[in-house]
């Protein structure tokens, strides 16, 4: 079975963690970081098993850049 690495962002939102695969724009959540990652892995594998090759090709972002950006924030 072929393996593929994807880029995942995980952030805490209130009492849960949200995991987002930015390569395919698919998200999941869990009560722990590991649970969120496992749930996202399951969602991605289900998508990749059931989606057509055209849908997969249309959703994959083949070139991405992750960076930080400094912005001005008005003080209240």
Domains located in the chain, CATH noted: 1-76 (3.30.160.250)
pLDDT for 63: 80
The predicted pLDDT at position 75 comes to 87
- Global pTM exceeds 0.75: yes
Q: Which two tokens stand for residue 70?
A: 């400094």
Choose among 6, 2, 7, 27: nearest CA to 17: 27
pLDDT-derived band at 9, boundaries 50, 70, 90: very high
**pLDDT grade, residue 65 (50/70/90)?**
confident
Q: Where are the beta strands (DSSP E) in 1-76?
A: 8-13, 16-21, 26-30
Task: Give the whole-angstrom CA distance, residue 70 versus residue 67.
Answer: 10
Give 14-63 pLDDT, tens digit per residue.
999 999 999 999 999 999 999 999 999 999 999 999 999 999 988 887 78
């Amino acid at each position: 079975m072929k393996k593929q690495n994807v880029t995942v962002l995980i952030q805490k939102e209130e009492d849960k963690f949200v995991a987002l695969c930015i390569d395919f724009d698919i998200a999941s959540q869990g009560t722990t970081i590991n649970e969120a990652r496992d749930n996202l892995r399951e969602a991605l594998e289900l998508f990749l098993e059931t989606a057509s090759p055209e849908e997969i090709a249309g959703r994959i972002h083949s070139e991405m850049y992750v960076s930080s950006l400094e912005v001005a924030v008005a003080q209240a």
